[in-house]
Structure 1
Amino acid sequence: MWEAAGVEGAETSSMKEPRYLRIARELAADIGARSWPLGERMPPEPELAARFGVSRETLRNALREVESWGLVSRRKGDGTRVRRLAPVERFDTSLNSLEELTQYGRDAVREVSATAEVTVDAELAAVTGFPVGAARVRLTTLRRAEDGAVVSWSQVYLAPEDAAVVSGELGRSTRLISDLLAERTGRATHRVDQQVRAVPMPAEPAGVLGLESGCPALEFVRRYFDVAGELFEVTVGVHPGGSFSYRTTLVRSGQ
């Protein structure tokens, strides 16, 4: 995670490690130790450069590295702000088929953190496509990397009878919920409609992910339909903007 290529012209130590990278590691350690609270500005560049006894350019290279780890954001006129206390593992995924979606589910471990019964209101209906007044069970789930760090937060909406069918499997299975439903009920997923958009990080997932509320995030809304065209599951997921990239392939029709 901490390896990085050198920058042309960077100052180096006797061990041939770029000085900017050593400084970046020290700054990351300070951030992890909460020397500066989440959302707060770090000291200005001249002050940090003087602290480490380096040029402004070397200091900027260090800050760029820390930014690439997802720890800070840097904006002209706003300085450098702390956005995360620990580096986040990056996920790069390509989902071009239901089979690849299934594999994604197996690669990231799911944890159900909360279950609640809800009635679909107008706002939720606009997001999910479920009718207003419908009863649904909402599962709040987390996905963890191999080291146990939380990398995404989701809320899954199911009909109460479907939630009851799979409830015993959710705590020990990494399979997609739609696959569990297919196995238990015979209802196979025929189509998944997916919408991805950039959003400010909501407060609830921000707390779980260790991020500042309002920081950049990606929201994924997946609507699962069976062969009869019935919408039976909706997942609304949030990923940190700096830790997840989504790739798709477009092919010109007729070729």
Structure 2
Amino acid sequence: MKSEGAREMALRYRTIAADLAGRIQHGQWEIGAFLPSEPDLAAEYGCSRETVRAALKRLEDLGLISRRKGQGTKVIRTVPAEQFHSRLGSIEELTQYGQSASRSIQAVERVRAHGAVAALFGKDEGTELVRLTTLRRNPEAESSPVARSEVFLSPEDFQLVEGELEDSQRLVADLVAERSGRRLVRVLQSIQAVPLDEETAPALNRAAGDIGLRLSRRYIDEEGKVFALVISTHPGDAFVYESVLERGTLPAEAGA
């Protein structure tokens, strides 16, 4: 069999990994059971052993299987170990997010606002900003990143919180609001499915082209001004975002 092209292989191994994960979750192989050998799986799926190996590596990254040379591939979980749930229904719940996902700062740099960043922040093109690149992990599975984020602040606001960022797990915007005397009154959020780029994918233990979930949040003060912009990207297959919608009372009903 000819070696599969890189793009075809990437699509194929993800499909096979998803199918195997589904079969595990539905009980075809119980915890402690061994999956078929690589040659057998390659024959079953009509693909190369290289593609099967990549699919099994994906299941291993999800914590579903363990692999040891000469011992085979054993099922150790039936659901992904690092699946992370975020249920946010208010600003108060959002500010508690830092308690459920530990943050590490990967880089701090001064940049110029352009394009989408300038538009979302409400800044002129070329305005100087500070960009923090951070990585959040699930405390229950430290090897599994749940988000790579870019946090944009004004240089003045960054100076107010610079000394606290390494030791604090609070949301950066929450710290900025407190230290600057602002009141955080609104968060505008958009959610978009995106392919992971070559910079973000490795940070999330994924392959470039895998689907991610991008959340853009604009933090707004009592004057209606955006003072922080956070763009977070999550692995699409391991992050669950839940929101709460409640039935309100219409004005006509209120007077009834």
Residues 1:104 and 2:97 are matched in the alignment = yes
CA distance in 2, matches of 1:115, 1:136: 11
1:46 deviates by 5.5
1:124 corresponds to = 117
Which residue of the other structure, out of 154, 178, 187, is the alignment partner of 2:182?
187
Q: Structure 1 residues 88 and 156, CA, compared in 2 at 3 Å: closer, same or farther?
A: farther
1:18-59 superposed Cα distances (whole Å, 9 cap, x missing partner):
4696234x88xx8xxxxxxxxxxx8342679xx9xxxxxxxx
Change (3 A) 1:19 1:96: closer
After superposition, the Cα gap between the structure-2 partners of 1:88 and 1:213, relative to the gap in structure 1 and judged at 3 Å, is: farther
Look up the match of 1:74: none
How much has 1:163 moved relative to structure 2? 0.6
Quote how far apart the aligned CAs of 1:68 are.
Answer: 11
1:162 aligns with 2:157: yes
Shift in CA distance, 212/171, structure 1 to aligned 2, threshold 3 Å = same
Matched, 1:22 2:49: no
- Counterpart of 1:166, as a letter, is V
Shift, 1:144, TM fit: 1.6
| Whole-angstrom CA distance in 2 between matches of 1:224 and 1:231 | 5
SS at match of 2:228: strand
User: What letter is aligned with 1:43?
Assistant: A
Task: Find the counterpart in structure 2 of residue 55 from structure 1.
Answer: none
The Cα of 1:145 is off from its aligned counterpart by 2.0
Q: 1:148 aligns with which of 139, 142, 153?
A: 142
- Tell me what 2:106 maps to: 113
**Alignment partner of 1:43 is 2:42:** yes
Which of 212, 221, 230 is equivalent to 1:217?
A: 212
1:251 Cα deviation from its structure 2 partner: 2.5
Query: Contact 1:88 / 1:151 at 8 angstroms: preserved in 2?
Result: no
Give, in whole Å, the separation in 2 of the partners of 1:88 and 1:214.
Answer: 22
Q: Which one of 194, 197, 201 corresponds to residue 199 of structure 1?
A: 194
Letter in 2 for 1:131: D
Q: Which runs of 5+ in 1 are unaligned?
A: 11-17, 31-41, 52-61, 72-86
Moved beyond 6 Å, runs of 4+:
none
In 1: Cα distance, 2:142 partner to 2:189 partner: 27
Deviation, structure 1 residue 66: 4.2
**Where does residue 247 of structure 1 map in the other structure?**
242
TM-score normalized by the length of structure 1: 0.69
CA offset at residue 93 of structure 1? Answer: 1.6
Q: 1:253 to 1:114 in 2, by over 3 A?
A: same
Unaligned 5+ segments in structure 2 are 1-23, 50-54, 65-79, 251-256
Matched residue pairs, number? 202
Code of the aligned partner of 2:142: G
Q: CA separation in 2, counterparts of 1:172 and 1:217?
A: 28
How many Å separate the matches in 2 of 1:206 and 1:68? 13
* Aligned-residue identity in percent: 40
Question: Partner amino acid for 1:244?
Answer: F
Aligned to 1:34: none
SS at match of 1:203: coil
- One-letter code of the match for 2:182? R
Q: Does the 8 A contact of 1:130 with 1:231 survive in 2?
A: no
Q: Could you tell me how far apart the structure 2 residues matched to 1:46 and 1:122 are?
A: 44
Q: Could you state the TM-score of these two structures normalised by the residue count of structure 2?
A: 0.69
Task: Tell me how far 1:128 sits from its aligned partner.
Answer: 4.2
Query: What is the aligned partner in structure 1 of residue 14 from structure 2?
Result: none
Equivalent AA in structure 1 for residue 33 of structure 2? R
Residues 44 and 67 of structure 1: is their aligned pair in 2 closer, same or farther, counting only changes over 3 Å?
Answer: farther
